[in-house]
Amino acid sequence: MTSLNHCIKFQLNITDPNLLFSNYYEKLCHHKQTKVYVAELVQPACPVCHSSTLKHNGHYVAKVRYLTSNASQPVLLELHKQRVICCSCGKRSMAQTDLVGKSCRISNASKLKVLTALTTDRSMTSIAQENNVSTNTVQRVLDSLDTPFRAQATTLPEHLAFDEVRGVGHKLHFICLDGDNHRIITILSDRFKKSIVKYFEQFPITIRKKVKTVSLDLNAYYQAIAVQLKGFLY
């Protein structure tokens, strides 16, 4: 089983030591032949008191959608999450992993792939089909990641890139990237001047003046915004 566990983890690029794969099979799901990998998610210690003296209290089975290179053959992770009772503090808990959010059925890797696809000029429908998720899921990924980008933004890179991504109903969203490593700085719910200016004005002028370049297409609309925000192309 150790060899099988290692091989599946290598194939799926998974490193979580608390995830132990034991089997795999194929089944027909939503008219598509689906690969299913079975694993037990172990709870090594109590999340409250960190005691390793735990009493097993069953499992919770979750089917998680995972990355696939072939859209016609989806991949599911059948996670058997351990439920435990801490013998020290008596608290009940269930094993969790960074692979997927709590109570979520779509892996974080899949969400990241969806978000990366949103940076290209493509429709949400095509992105959803490629990743075996619904169009609403693609929209939720975009919406859920918008707030953390804003909340964590405390500085700006020296080189920025402005563009837009197409959303549900052909709606366009403003996206700002780090011009050096293409890391996403923010994605706004629209591409209106008022929204863009409001976002960047949350940064002090001293931070904005550190921006050396802004990469744009031929859209004069963004050029005017960059000039207005003191410190950009100034």
Let me know whether 82 and 140 are in one domain: no
> Is 111 within the bounds of a domain?
no
Q: Please check the confidence at residue 129 and state whether its pLDDT lies above 90.
A: no
> Is 91 within the bounds of a domain?
yes
**Residue 169 has what pLDDT?**
64
Q: Whole-model pTM?
A: 0.61
CB 45 within 8 A of CB 52: yes
> Is 53 within the bounds of a domain?
yes
**% of the chain beyond a pLDDT of 90:** 32
Let me know whether 121 and 224 are in one domain: yes
Q: What is the pLDDT of residues 188-207, one digit of tens each?
A: 888 888 888 888 888 888 88
Dist CA 77 CA 38 (whole Å): 6
The parent domain of residue 26 ranges over: 2-105
Query: Where do we find the tokens 């990743």?
Result: 131
User: How many independent structural domains does the chain possess?
Assistant: 2
Let me know whether 167 and 72 are in one domain: no
Dist CA 234 CA 229 (whole Å): 9
pLDDT class of 49 with cuts at 50, 70, 90: very high
Let me know whether 95 and 148 are in one domain: no
Let me know whether 129 and 216 are in one domain: yes
> Is 209 within the bounds of a domain?
yes
Let me know whether 215 and 123 are in one domain: yes
Which of 73, 105, 137 is where one domain is finished? Answer: 105
Let me know whether 218 and 193 are in one domain: yes
3-state secondary structure (DSSP) of residue 109: helix
**Residue 26 has what pLDDT?**
93
Q: Please check the confidence at residue 96 and state whether its pLDDT lies above 60.
A: yes
Alpha carbon dihedral 224, 226, 228, 232, in 10-degree steps, equals -140
> Is 234 within the bounds of a domain?
no
**Residue 151 has what pLDDT?**
45
Give the helix, strand, coil percentages of the chain, each rounded to 5: 30, 30, 40
